[in-house]
Structure 1
């Protein structure tokens, strides 16, 4: 059985969690609790491109907030 997370011919979704972290998720699987779909189903490459364009700060949102509070 092939890995459903690495199938270039499968459809995927881009998921985002409450910390602003992104994940590529096979469209055939249910979206897990705590995550929401932002794109898809679409090709793996389209989803990867979306993540590349939109996930510009890899820090969790809680860390960003803590750093902003510490700086003010």
Structure 2
């Protein structure tokens, strides 16, 4: 199945990432991170930048 949707990378205050169709409004609690493209391009970007999957609050609590 072909995916012609343009995606955008979102991030929340906990530093968690999500792919979101660019034609949809950004949901509350999330913000546009700056990357748009195909699903594969956005996924590759997230794989590169999101190296610690722990929420920011947990990282802070653990020092």
Work out whether the TM-score is over 0.5: yes
| Residue deviations 1:6-25 (CA, integer Å, cap 9, x gap) | x6221000000000000000
TM-score of the pair, normalised by structure 1: 0.79
- Where in structure 2 are the equivalents of 1:1-72 lying within 5 Å? 8-38=3-33, 39-40=35-36, 42-68=37-63
Q: Which has the larger radius of gyration?
A: 1
| Cα distance in structure 1, aligned partners of 2:40 and 2:32 | 16
- Poorly superposed stretches of 4+, deviation over 4 Å: none
| Cα distance in structure 1, aligned partners of 2:3 and 2:9 | 15
Question: How many residues get paired?
Answer: 61
Greater relative contact order structure (CA < 8 Å, 6+ sep):
2
Q: Cα offset for 1:43?
A: 1.1
Q: Which structure 2 residue ranges, 5 or more long, are not aligned? A: none
CA RMSD of aligned residues (A): 1.1
